[in-house]
Structure formats: structure tokens, C-alpha cells
Amino acid sequence: MKPPLFDYHDPRGLEEALDLLARHGDDAKVLAGGQSLVPLLNFRLARPDHIVDLGRVPGLAYIRRRDGVLRIGAMTRQATLEVSPLVASHWPLLTEALSLVAHAQIRNRGTVGGSVAHADPAAELPVAFAALDASFHVRSQRGTRMIGWRDFFVTHLTTSMEPDEVLVEIEVPPVPEGAGHGFEEFSRRHGDFALGGAAALVTLDQNHIQAARIALLAAADTPLRATEAEASLTGQAPTEEAIAEAARIAVIGVEPTGDIHGDTEYRHGLIEAMVRRALKQAGERASEVR
């Protein structure tokens, strides 16, 4: 299929892009790496009158660490983040999540901001950013807003960004010292979107869990944090029983949407198993660090 007709704009600066979106916002779509938007256009599931390509807007692709905080420009390619030594040493959960995103060819074009703005609950980066308590900086001609991940992801493929806004930066706070990480998912073939998964961070104090974070992939319309399960682990020894109980709690009330690849019950059990594995891996890595 070919895309429907649209007017193509390739602004050379952010102000020009924001001006175009202020004029055409409701009828426009931002184009980043095109790895999700172009298929949507070709299948005619999106029919914008205007495409605003960010490809030639300078200054939106960077990876910086200042005062312990990671700042990722929205147009940073997923592959660039994946091989960043800075990210691997301070936010290894992101490196691991990226290795599970699609195929290398897609990560070469796909951007970090595009994955976030697309807001697919089966996408790895939004789940990793939920586990990392990230915030998103968005710009429009009306100004700049910083939106925490909980308020950013509204539902399937929908964020709280307005049509005239552009995601410009992802801000990731430092990970607690000594934290171990785990990211586990199951997909039918390498590179497919996962049927279910989980990200975990665990910090240990002597032989007990000081704090745990658990984020669920493809469990609901948005990335989810399993806060009750997280709390259940505080002060516990990282035993198989404690981890299994936390995983059981993590999926209480969770009803993943089923399809031909797996019904709700199957996915429910799958996500519970992924939480168990991610927590186990995070716990083991935390004890190695100590």
C-alpha cells in the first residue's frame, strides 16, 4: 500500500517545526525515524494532511549526563543509545531493554523519542523509562512542559502531548547506588513485539532487599508499575519464595488484552513468570555489585 497524500515539511530548526505544528497541529504528524508512522500511513491507519519531519532539525540528538541525571535528545537513534558506554555503565537497564527492541535495522532508524511518543504498551523503552522514573520534556510555541511518565502515557498509542507539542528530551534520574537490573520478555520470534515482559531494579542492604521496582510490559494500555509488589519486597531476603510472592502480587488485577498469539489468561501467567525472572536477575546482579 502507498500512503495517502500529505504535504511534507522538513523544517531546519525547532522553532520552524513548532510554528508548523501550531498552524497544522490537529491535521499534522511529526515524523522521526518513521519505523512506526510509515507503516501506519501505508496501511492508511493514519491520514494526516501534513507531515513535519524532524530529521533535519539540529540539536535534538544527544546523550548527556550532568549532576548524575541522564538527558537523551528525542531524535537520538535507538542504536546510538544501545551502544553508549555512558548508558551501559550508569543505566544498564536501558542498554538491555534496547537489545530487545525489534531488529538492528529498525533500531538504526528508530528514535528514542519516537518509541516514547508512539506509546505502544508492548514497547521496551517506555517500560524501562517507567522503571527508571523518567520524565519527558515537551515543547510548543506556548512553552516547555516536563511530564512524569505516569502522566505521559494515557492509553494505547496515546500520550498527554497536545497536537502542537514536540517531545524534545527524556530525563532519567540516577539509579540507586548498587542497584541490580533485569529485563525479561517473551516473543514468538526474535525481533517481534513481546507478548509480555517485565523490568526490575533491586537494591540490597546486607542480605535484604532495600528497595525494588517492577514495571510491566504489555500488561495494560500503558506501562505499569507494580507498586504493591514492590512494597512487598522491602526488607525481605531475596529468596525464591519472596520473589514468587511479589510476582503473584504484581499481576493481581492485571488483564492483558488477548489475541491469536495468546489469550488473557496465558499472558497473565506469562507476565508473572517474566516478573519472577526479572527480579531474580536483578537480585543476583545487585549481590554481585556488593
Binding part of the chain for ligand FAD, among 79-87, 104-112, 172-180, 209-217 by CB under 6 A, reads 104-112
**Considering beta carbons, is residue 166 or 249 the nearer one to ligand FAD?**
166
Residue 217 near residue 210 (C-beta atoms within 8 A)? no
Of the residues 18, 72, 87, 102, which one makes contact with ligand FAD according to CB under 6 A: 102
**Across 119-164, where does the E strand assignment appear?**
135-140, 143-148, 153-155, 158-159
CB 39 to ligand FAD: min, Å: 6
3-state SS class at 262: strand
CB 20 to ligand FAD: min, Å: 12
Q: What grid cell was written down for 15?
A: 522553532
Query: Does 111 help bind ligand FAD (rule: CB under 6 A)?
Result: yes
Residue 70 near residue 90 (C-beta atoms within 8 A)? yes
Q: How many chain residues touch ligand FAD (CB under 6 A)? A: 28
Burial class of residue 185 (count of CB atoms within 10 Å of its CB; 0-12, 13-18, 19+): buried
**Considering beta carbons, is residue 54 or 242 the nearer one to ligand FAD?**
54
CB 74 to ligand FAD: min, Å: 4
Q: What angle do CA 234, 95, 259 make, to 5 degrees?
A: 80
Of the residues 31, 87, 209, 214, which one makes contact with ligand FAD according to CB under 6 A: 31
Sign of the CA dihedral 11, 101, 258, 136?
Answer: negative
Helical (H) or strand (E) element with 271 = helix 264-289
Give the residue from 67, 72, 65 showing the smallest Cα distance to 98.
72
Query: Does 9 help bind ligand FAD (rule: CB under 6 A)?
Result: no
Of the residues 29, 50, 213, 267, which one makes contact with ligand FAD according to CB under 6 A: 29
Query: Does 33 help bind ligand FAD (rule: CB under 6 A)?
Result: yes
Query: Does 128 help bind ligand FAD (rule: CB under 6 A)?
Result: no
Give the residue from 137, 262, 280 showing the smallest Cα distance to 214.
280
Which residues contribute to the site for ligand FAD (CB under 6 A)? 29-37, 39, 54, 74, 101-102, 106, 110-111, 113-115, 117-118, 123-125, 166-167, 193
